[in-house]
């Protein structure tokens, strides 16, 4: 069976509208029977077309729209494949889609600022929490923010530059000082404040906690065994203050974590910690394992930091892992160590005992104060 012919063309368009389109883009628009896009984009194009403005919410409505219409030109801001509708339509429609790109707002912003595009980090806040900006803020780093409010971004990152209507006749670039910005803007940040590294093992005082916190050194070792990779999902079972889930999610924007915690008070604390450390997308489920694990998205790795002695917890976690999945368990008490010993005898893996001593004052001298040792068991399915 031959593939369905391409009948959906996605054309990038800038603030300069029709005048800024290439000959190929104009040809694609002129060959369409139906023009789709936001009302602002539709108003940029002259001609006699059937025009369909995007409904709200958009994504759930797309399958029905493209069942109904053929020979469609979709207008998208800038490069449709850069945080744009083009990626959504390619996933949905496959070979029905061809794309004619336009310079993105990020390319235009870098050109105006004299910034090297390959050295800039881009954060999209379109429909997302501004806390996602926090991990990108490191000293000397240049960041471009899409879809943000300059007041909110400045409140997190300090002084910002606003670039409005890039490429259009109303283009404006200025140091923000409290003005109401045009909604079609990019926000530029040159960060000069303090920041946490994305390397696991944040300071313990980075977290709000009631004491249920995997300590810094143990956390770094545990995450090295969990081995987060882009796009993977972690279960943090008995999450306490959420530090393992949070630092897993901080390693890469596409890493996702699900924290399971039976205490509602601690669950609320995890939500606050995740937002403060730039990963508000960490999911928090209130409940007791193993029952609370039912129906969760399948994980690539699981960390058990609490509830280890509850019957069925280790078995449920092991059963949830696919081939290649990693399980890491921390035990502090004799009872939890006994559970680890039984499972280690059954499945193998690696056992490590971690003893941390921190220097502190002893009168006018310095001595070592030990923390409780932790046994870490890690195994790959």
Residue pLDDT, tens place only, 144-190: 999 999 999 999 999 999 999 999 999 999 999 999 999 989 999 99
Helix%, strand%, coil% for the chain, nearest 5: 35, 25, 40
Cβ atoms of residues 293 and 316 within 8 Å: yes
Which residues on adjacent β-strands are paired with residue 73? 9, 35
Confidence of residue 4 (pLDDT cuts 50, 70, 90): low
Residues 6+ apart with CB under 8 A from 179: 150, 162
Residues 6+ apart with CB under 8 A from 77: 12, 13, 14, 41, 84, 105, 184
Q: Residue 5: pLDDT above 70? A: no
Over residues 16-32, mean pLDDT: 94
Give the model's pLDDT for residue 347.
97
The answer for 227, left when phi > 0, alpha when psi is -120 to 50, beta otherwise, is: left
Evaluate whether the domain defined by 106-190 bears CATH number 3.30.950.10.
Answer: yes
Confidence of residue 218 (pLDDT cuts 50, 70, 90): very high
Number of Cβ within a 10 Å radius of residue 224: 14
Q: Residue 2: pLDDT above 50? A: no
CA 209 from centre of chain: 24
The answer for 28, left when phi > 0, alpha when psi is -120 to 50, beta otherwise, is: alpha
d(Cα 180, Cα 151) in Å, to the nearest integer?
9
Number of Cβ within a 10 Å radius of residue 308: 25
Residue closest to 245 by CA, chosen among 237, 39, 230: 237
Over residues 98-124, mean pLDDT: 96
Residues 6+ apart with CB under 8 A from 160: 145, 150, 153, 154, 175, 176, 187, 188, 189
Helix (H) or strand (E) holding 353: strand 350-354
Give the model's pLDDT for residue 372.
92
Regarding the domain delimited by 8-103, which CATH topology (the fold level of the hierarchy) does it fall under?
Cobalt-precorrin-4 Transmethylase; domain 1 (3.40.1010)
Residues 6+ apart with CB under 8 A from 215: 204, 356, 371
Confidence of residue 6 (pLDDT cuts 50, 70, 90): confident
Q: What is the CATH number of domain 204-380?
A: 3.40.50.150
Domain 106-190 identical in fold to domain 204-380: no
User: Biggest alpha carbon distance in the chain?
Assistant: 86
What are the angstrom distances between the C-alpha of 366 and each of 204, 205, 360, 369? 21, 22, 5, 10
DSSP string, 19-43: GG--HHHHHHHHT-SEEEE-HHHHT
Give the model's pLDDT for residue 3.
44
For the chain, give me the number of helices (H) and strands (E)? 11, 19
d(Cα 297, Cα 294) in Å, to the nearest integer?
9
Number of Cβ within a 10 Å radius of residue 33: 12
Domain ranges of the chain: 8-103, 106-190, 204-380
Tallying the residues shown for the chain, one arrives at 381
Cβ atoms of residues 245 and 225 within 8 Å: no
pLDDT tens column, 265-318: 999 999 999 999 999 999 999 999 999 999 999 999 999 999 999 999 999 999
Give the model's pLDDT for residue 1.
37
Mean pLDDT of the chain: 95
Residue closest to 176 by CA, chosen among 152, 160, 158, 189: 160
């Amino acid at each position: 069976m031959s593939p369905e012919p391409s009948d959906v063309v996605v054309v990038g368009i800038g603030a300069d509208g029709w005048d800024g389109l290439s000959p190929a883009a104009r040809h694609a628009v002129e060959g369409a029977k139906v023009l789709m896009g936001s009302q602002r984009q539709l108003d940029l194009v002259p001609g006699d077309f059937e025009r369909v403005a995007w409904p709200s919410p958009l994504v759930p409505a797309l399958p029905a729209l493209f069942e109904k219409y053929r020979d469609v030109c979709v207008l998208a801001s800038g490069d449709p494949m850069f945080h744009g509708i083009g990626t959504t339509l390619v996933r949905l429609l496959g070979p029905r889609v061809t794309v004619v790109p336009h310079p993105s707002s990020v390319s235009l912003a870098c050109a105006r600022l004299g910034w090297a595009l390959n050295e800039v980090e881009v954060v999209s806040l379109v429909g997302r929490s501004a806390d996602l900006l926090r991990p990108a803020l490191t000293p000397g780093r240049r960041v471009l923010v899409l879809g943000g409010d300059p007041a909110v971004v400045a409140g997190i990152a300090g002084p910002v530059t606003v670039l409005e209507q890039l490429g259009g006749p109303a283009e404006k670039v200025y140091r923000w000082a409290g003005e109401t910005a045009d909604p079609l803007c990019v926000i530029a940040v040159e960060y000069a404040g303090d920041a946490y590294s994305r390397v696991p093992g944040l300071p313990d005082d980075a977290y709000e906690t009631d004491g249920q916190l995997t300590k810094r050194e143990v956390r770094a070792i545990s995450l090295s065994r969990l081995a987060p990779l882009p796009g993977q999902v972690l279960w943090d079972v008995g999450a306490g203050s959420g530090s393992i889930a949070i630092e897993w999610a901080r390693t890469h924007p596409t890493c996702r974590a699900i924290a399971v915690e039976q205490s509602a008070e601690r669950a609320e604390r995890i939500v606050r910690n995740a937002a403060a450390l730039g990963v508000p997308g960490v999911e928090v489920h209130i409940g007791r394992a193993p029952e609370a694990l039912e129906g969760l998205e399948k994980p690539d790795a699981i960390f058990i930091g609490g509830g280890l002695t509850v019957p069925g917890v280790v078995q449920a976690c092991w059963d949830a892992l696919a081939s290649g999945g990693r399980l890491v368990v921390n035990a502090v008490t004799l009872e939890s160590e006994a559970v680890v010993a039984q499972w280690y005898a059954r499945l193998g893996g690696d056992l490590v005992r971690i003893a941390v001593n921190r220097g502190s004052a002893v009168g006018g001298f310095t001595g070592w104060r030990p923390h409780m040792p932790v046994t870490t068991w890690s195994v790959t399915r």
